[in-house]
Structure 1
Amino acid sequence: MKRLDALDAARFLAFCGMVLVNFRIAAEVAPGMDWASMLIGALEGRAAALFVVLAGIGIGLSRISASLLLRRAAFLFVIGLINMTVFDADILHFYALYFVVGAFFLAASQRGLWLGALGIMILAVIANLFFDYDQGWDWDTLVYTDLWTLPGFLRNALFNGWHPVLPWAAFLLIGMAIGRSKLHTLCIQHRLIMWGFGAAVLALFPQMMTSDTELVAYLGTESIPPGPFYVMAGTGTACIVIGLLLKLWPMIKRTGTAAFLTAPGRQSLTLYMAHILIGMGVLEELGLLGGTLSAPQIALYALLFCSLSSVFSLLWARKFKRGPLEALMRRATEYTRA
């Protein structure tokens, strides 16, 4: 199937949302009522969910083998562990675990993928009934106290980390199911927009039906803790963005801005690492971490970083087919015959 450029654009938008959220976390910016706080608050948990759904769509559209997917998982896991020494909220090592789950569903039908996603959400609900979600967390500092012990790492990765397998792997399977659809048709694009809007709206109601504080948190649409209605809301939002971009892509191409969206979308792995090592590194060197910036200031800095990332990616793409880390992953995981 011909590559759908709109999906690359969606990936870049997801990256921009993650940059806004992660820069706020790193800079320890207190939430407020200004435009930037509301924007970042709306993106928390949604941008990353879109990122994972898009990864699933990519797998669904491709003919990737289980062995290659597992090799990519191993590559991302190693890169993610290295990244975690700098930024605890790394998503790459979680991505690797989602890929392991996805490898078992490569031959599944669309129905099987949806049932698999449902099963993961049910397991997440059961896990919350039997285990303490707060274990390991110091919520005042957002530090996971026993992350680098085996029990703590496994608990964080599977149950109560920033993006745990239960239930975040459901996003990947949902994306794989969506990727099996005829995304280039208006019919599917309209369904994504309408069903996504319906799911995002319906997910808001359960939290309104109880006054119990803990129950409200779990029935809500926040990513921490990630309850079933968060997955529903995150999936709905992702479907809206993907559907709209697919539908509006011919119009976007006519504006001449398409390349500024697709080039960085195809280098999202490189840019993800860059926003931590370079973007956050600059903030640290300037002494701007630790709550010294306001939400609007960090938002403007994040948007500037995203703009520069787009320009860099466009210039890089004129000389090279893939981004630096994308090329390294391909070389490390794909075998070539002499």
Structure 2
Amino acid sequence: MTEAARFRLVGLDAARWVALLGMMATHLLPMAQADGSNTWVATVFAGRAAALFAVLAGVTLALLTGGPQPVRGPELARVRIAQSVRGLLVVLIGLALGETDSGLAIILVNYGVLFWLGLLVVRLRARALGLLAAAVAVGAPVGDHLLRPYLPPRGVGVPVFGDLLHPLHLLSELFFTGYYPVTCWAAYLLVGMALGRLDLRRISAGPRALPVFGGIAVVGAAVAAVTTVVSHALTSRTSVLARLDPALYRERGARAVLEQVDQPREGVGYFGQTPVRGSWDWLLVVAPHSSTPFDLVQSAASAVGAIGLALALTHLLHGRVLRTAAVVTGAGRSTLTLYSVHVLMTSSLLPPSPGPGFAIVQVVVVLALGSGLVLARRRGPLEALVTEVSKGVADRFVAASTPRT
């Protein structure tokens, strides 16, 4: 493998490494201080770590379906079958993890469904995917705001196998009313697919790699910052605050409403939704997991900035330093396996027991396993399983459907 090829993989793995550690931090570390304000973990990672994972899922899907040249012809059928099976296996793993007592909002079922939706647009190129992402980021929250009052209230929480017996309620929660509503989160996948349709390998091998990837990082950060500033400017207006929560506004004033908007539910976010019934002004909120246009744009742009930064920094590394970075960020190559290990360790099924050092032990275990897999030149067990099964099913299906001569 060439230096450029290794670079590209390490850069994306580094971004996945950050996303994995960020999600673990939001699960294991305090999100609110004694006075109710956000901790640094909430400020940096709340909403953004999960969004980074979703954007990276889109990058992966784009790379698996041809990168800068979307697959066509017979190969398209093979790819669609393989990725459909991949999505199914991720859903099944997510349902299995949902059966544990981890207390976490497992995201894998939603990721699997997003993979299926992504297959509908695998023939699109970067520009079309970017425009579609923008349309979804604005339109999906509006549609959800209109539909949710007429849908069943959230009840499934974390999907488990038993919820398959109630498919309509499960689909309602997966697509509209749950922690990670697929209709809105499709914007993340599309942004990632647009990024993955760029010829990252060619860029990485060319003389403009650092300016291009650095530019992606700067643009992502700038869009995220501007979106946040604009949202705060809009939601801090007295007339808006009065409409967001009329009762709290009358009882305690504008400042109390503003604090609730900026730091909802002790800094955790809105758990996927703004209030089901209420003013359209709720769509101006940028708080984590609020699934508003401002939240989607800000977190997607943050993810793009993080990916651009990871690619730019990795481009500066060569030889032994690059190989060392690949080992250190090895957990980024096996995020499905190591995310599952994290969930199991957070439950009662695997040690450590909750107590002092609980978070540190989990991080050390995950990082050590990731680095060990890289040193052993092995994929994570779940990554290997998903790849082999999806490829095998696709090969058999295509072989069975090919006319014999």
- Give the TM-score, by structure 2 length: 0.71
Structure 1 counterpart of 2:221: 197
Residues 1:53 and 2:55 are matched in the alignment: yes
The answer (yes or no) to whether the contact 1:113–1:177 under 8 Å persists in 2 is yes
* Secondary structure at 1:104 match in 2: helix
195, 208, 224: which is aligned to 2:289? 224
CA distance in 2, matches of 1:133, 1:172: 27
- Give a deviation string over 1:120-167, Cα, whole Å, max 9, x none: 2313312212323995348xxx95799933333112100121111121
Query: Residue type of the partner of 1:258?
Result: A
* Secondary structure at 1:311 match in 2: helix
Query: Residue type of the partner of 1:188?
Result: V
Query: Residue type of the partner of 2:147?
Result: F
CA distance in 2, matches of 1:208, 1:36: 19
- Structure 2 unaligned regions, length at least 5: 67-78, 235-239, 245-278, 400-405
The answer (yes or no) to whether the contact 2:31–2:42 under 8 Å persists in 1 is no
Structure 2 counterpart of 1:43: 45
Residues 1:265 and 2:266 are matched in the alignment: no
- Give a deviation string over 1:283-337, Cα, whole Å, max 9, x none: 9873x4xxxx7xxx6xx64344223211122223333421111111122211267
The answer (yes or no) to whether the contact 1:57–1:179 under 8 Å persists in 2 is yes
Structure 1 residues 236 and 303: CA distance shift in structure 2, 3 A? farther
Residues 1:305 and 2:350 are matched in the alignment: no
- Give a deviation string over 1:72-95, Cα, whole Å, max 9, x none: 011111111111222561111111
- Give a deviation string over 1:174-208, Cα, whole Å, max 9, x none: 11101122432223212212211221112111342
Structure 1 residues 331 and 128: CA distance shift in structure 2, 3 A? same
89, 95, 98: which is aligned to 2:114? 98
Query: Residue type of the partner of 1:158?
Result: F
The answer (yes or no) to whether the contact 1:136–1:145 under 8 Å persists in 2 is no
CA distance in 2, matches of 1:201, 1:9: 23
Query: Residue type of the partner of 1:114?
Result: G
Number of residues paired by the alignment?
A: 321
* Secondary structure at 1:132 match in 2: helix
Q: Alignment identity in percent?
A: 28
CA distance in 2, matches of 1:59, 1:239: 16
* Secondary structure at 1:322 match in 2: coil
- Give a deviation string over 1:230-280, Cα, whole Å, max 9, x none: 111111111221111111114456387403443211110000100011244
Structure 2 counterpart of 1:22: 27
Residues 78-227 of structure 1: pairs in structure 2 closer than 5 A: 78-86=92-100, 87=102, 89-121=105-137, 122-132=139-149, 136-137=153-154, 148=163, 149-183=166-200, 184=204, 185-204=209-228, 205-209=230-234, 210-211=240-241, 212-213=243-244, 217-227=282-292
Structure 2 counterpart of 1:331: 388
- Structure 1 unaligned regions, length at least 5: none
CA distance in 2, matches of 1:145, 1:103: 23
Residues 1:66 and 2:80 are matched in the alignment: yes
Query: Residue type of the partner of 1:37?
Result: T
* Secondary structure at 1:31 match in 2: coil
Query: Residue type of the partner of 1:11?
Result: R
Query: Residue type of the partner of 2:384?
Result: A
The answer (yes or no) to whether the contact 1:137–1:144 under 8 Å persists in 2 is no
The answer (yes or no) to whether the contact 1:260–1:310 under 8 Å persists in 2 is no
Per-residue deviation, 1:53: 0.8
Two-structure CA RMSD over aligned residues (Å) = 3.1
The answer (yes or no) to whether the contact 1:260–1:311 under 8 Å persists in 2 is no
CA distance in 1, matches of 2:59, 2:159: 35
CA distance in 2, matches of 1:313, 1:145: 27
CA distance in 1, matches of 2:386, 2:211: 35
Query: Residue type of the partner of 2:335?
Result: S
* Secondary structure at 2:121 match in 1: coil
The answer (yes or no) to whether the contact 1:317–1:323 under 8 Å persists in 2 is no
Structure 1 residues 11 and 301: CA distance shift in structure 2, 3 A? same
CA distance in 1, matches of 2:280, 2:40: 24
The answer (yes or no) to whether the contact 1:46–1:238 under 8 Å persists in 2 is yes
Per-residue deviation, 1:19: 0.8
